[in-house]
Amino acid sequence: MNKIFMCLLVALPLTWAADHFHWSPMVIMLFSCLGIIPIAKLMGEATEHLAHKTNPTVGGLLSASFGNACELIIAFMALKAGLVEVVKASITGSIIGNLLLVFGASMIAGGLKRDEQSFNKVAAGTASTMLTITAMALLVPSAIHHTGGDGQLIDGKIALAISLVLISLYAALLFFNLKTHRHLLQPVSDAGHGEHEAAGGWSVGKSVLVLFGATLAVFFLAEHLVENVEHVAKDLGMTPIFVGVILLAIIGNAAENSSAIVMAHKNKMDLSLSIVTGSSTQIAMFVAPVLVIAGAVIGQPMDLVFTQAEVIAVVSSVMILNLIVHDGKSNWLEGVGLLAFYAILGICFYFV
């Protein structure tokens, strides 16, 4: 798997060449997308190795802060370019993709050779509860708007206020997970795998250097991706909502998604579920609020008013997750069901 990701690094110079020689927007966007996947994985590895060199609290904070850095950069570049609807769609798309596509694929990967897999019900229950709260909070402005709100100015003020509350809640969640209740959130099995993986890791200097270089590379690739996404979407008959919900969400999370699937295949379902719920929660509690605040700063105001289709998709995805994790067990059939529902949503978003 690592070799495949590293081979994709060739897309980085190819993106520059495609832009320099004025190749078609389709080709430039394709190379940009392929290049982001291994760069995102490098960012994740660098953060993980850096976290292992610190104490658990600082390490957890680093992992939480940089967990969706790649996706945040892509969304910020799109916001800067004025693609506000695409950015908002990518937020809901990331949540939906994690809960349905990634978790579904993970359950299939881990369950094909096993009758069922188990995970910590307390950790899963806490994660799904917080995800439900934040997803609903994120969608409240949409409900107000669609039931007769007072207009764009009010939508923007509501979004800023809710963003501050969500960031505060995110800080409380980190304190809960990393400090006060760490003992309740341990995996069902393989509790010592973290110490084993930490041995022989990258040095602090190498981790920081890789993280810095990967961040610059993502900015470069995201700029070219954003510049060409509208042209490609128009040529292929895709709406901005579909581009954000499906395309950008999958690209930004590709490396992290593969990690969740690999962990499930190794029967480490706690880690897989932690990646899925942690990423989704961070999108809702941290990435979306940061984008709202950043939009206000750079003069590209972004509210939290999502389409009715996005609201329905997010609410139903969170409800399904709660139904699956309540018993602390999973199997491959549940995974197939999640993938089927994700496919149905994808079809609907394409034709909306």
**Residue 64: pLDDT band by 50, 70, 90 thresholds?**
low
**Residue 198: pLDDT band by 50, 70, 90 thresholds?**
very low
This prediction has a pTM of: 0.84
Q: Round to whole Å and give the CA distance between 291 and 345.
A: 25
Q: Which of 108-112, 235-239, 262-266 has the lowest mean pLDDT?
A: 235-239
Fold classification of 2-351 is A middle domain of Talin 1 (1.20.1420)
Ranges of each domain in the chain: 2-351
Beta bridge partners of 182: none
With contact defined as beta carbons under 8 Å apart, do 221 and 37 qualify?
no
Percent residues over pLDDT 90 in the chain: 33
**Closest CA relative to residue 37, chosen from 76, 75, 73, 8:** 8
Q: What is the DSSP string of 297-348?
A: HHT--------HHHHHHHHHHHHHHHHHHTTSEE-HHHHHHHHHHHHHHHHH
Report pLDDT digits (tens) over 113-123: 898 998 888 88
| pLDDT value for 148 | 67
Report pLDDT digits (tens) over 128-167: 888 899 888 888 888 888 776 556 678 888 999 999 999 9
